[in-house]
Amino acid sequence: MIIPDGYSDIPAGKIAAVVTHLEMTAPPARRDDPPGAWSLRKVDAPALHWYRDLHRRVGEEWLWFSRARLNDAELAAIIHAAGIEVYALVVDGRDEGLLKLDFREAGQCELVYFGVTGSLIGTGAARFLMNRALEIAWSRDVRRVWVHTCTFDHPSAVAFYQRSGFRAFRRQIEVADDPRLDGTASPTAARHVPIIE
């Protein structure tokens, strides 16, 4: 489908975002870890309630809603699949960041979910998490690591990924039902994206 130049109406009750896909095809130059008391732990066969809670705490402000709409069987099939790895950023004994890597396609790694809770934004925790993500991804037999983000995400997300060594290669428009209107997300989430009923 070709989207015409100019404005396109989005129906009430929907949200629309510009999605930017970014990739790297060789390991980037190593970046030093910022100072901080963070660690990373791999979570094998994550409990669904744990995953839902951390996913919400990290992503609700940025309208991460697709996993919240899945029933338990659907979510388990995704996060327990062979080739999927889930990690938590740990701060003071609490899980405060989420990293989900997808190695299911030969020669590739997708950073499916990447983020830290709101109180850690700007502290260097995301840099620490990205350093670990890239170390893990490039330690495998991959030729490409990629990620996508959208205009609902933190305003610095694309620049952060580019500083990390990613290059933008594709843009799409995503339209979906507003998750704040059906109870999937809190009505107060993502105040930077107005609700239009």
Domain boundaries, given as residue ranges, for the chain? 14-25+38-177
Fold assignment, 14-25+38-177: Aminopeptidase (3.40.630)
Query: For 114, how many CA atoms within 13 A lie in the half-sphere containing its CB?
Result: 27
In this predicted model, what pLDDT tens digit does every residue of 142-197 receive, in sequence order? 999 999 999 999 999 999 999 999 999 999 999 999 999 999 999 999 999 999 99
pLDDT in tens, 82-125: 999 999 999 999 999 999 999 999 999 999 999 999 999 999 99
Tokens 């405060």 locate to 96
Contacts of residue 170, defined as CB under 8 A and 6 or more positions apart, other chains included, come to 20, 21
The candidate with the shortest Cα–Cα distance to 179, out of 171, 190, 165, 169, is 190
d(CA 99, CA 112): 8
Q: Does the pLDDT at position 1 exceed 70? A: no
Question: Distance between CA 176 and CA 185 in Å, rounded?
Answer: 13
